[in-house]
Structure 1
């Protein structure tokens, strides 16, 4: 069957499919994993949301459109933190939707331990976890 023969997939079905491929992480678990150095938190929210709501202390900010280039351990544009394919990355968006698709994309690059934060930044904040005020 060719790609042209496949039926379109709606976003809800796509999210369900990609999320079935890995275990998502709750805010408290992400906080502890980052605190102990077991995971790299990566905030993919766009600037307006970071300016409005603040930042997670210690999270690496990489906007969604640059994520794969910055985290591919073999890429020429990688960040220093992209040390290998075994890196545990927790992708954080605003509410936990775009981050699921981003984590699935990182899996395609061989970052098999990539996951995302259930509920995104809003769940982090609602859990009372540390947030730095917006700069400015």
Structure 2
């Protein structure tokens, strides 16, 4: 298993623009206070089965490109690693998290 790639926000944004599945694993409270990424799929980092299905019967094809964003790499890294361990072959996460995503001028809605 290869480790998921840590990408700049700009590179991650380009990957999403090319069709990658963008999952946001930040808490509802954090999204409410800092903002959201329109079009991102919200995933509970503690219940990946809810979005991806059980590891033995994935609901999302293993070759689907996936970009994980959190508040920092401390949140996105473990989720990206878990997806890679489940057999996903094109997983990356955003260096600097949501803040870097916003700072890069990528689509984001402000929080409260």
Q: TM-score, normalised by structure 2?
A: 0.85
Unaligned runs of 5+ in 2: none
Q: Is the 8 A contact 1:40 1:88 kept in 2?
A: yes
Cα offsets for 1:40-74 (capped at 9, x unmatched) = 11000001110001111211111211224422472
The runs of at least 4 aligned residues of structure 1 exceeding 3 Å deviation read none
How far has the Cα of 1:133 moved from its partner?
3.1
| CA distance in 2 between partners of 1:126 and 1:34 (Å) | 16
Max Rg structure: 1
Which has a greater percent of strand? 2
Q: Is the 8 A contact 2:9 2:95 kept in 1?
A: yes
What value does the CA root-mean-square deviation take over the aligned residues?
2.1
* Alignment pair present for 1:95 and 2:72: yes
What is the TM-score with the length of structure 1 in the denominator? Answer: 0.72
- How many residue pairs were aligned? 110
| Unaligned ranges ≥5, structure 1 | 1-19
1:1-136 alignment, distance < 5 Å: 21-37=3-19, 39-72=20-53, 74-75=57-58, 78=59, 82=60, 84-134=61-111
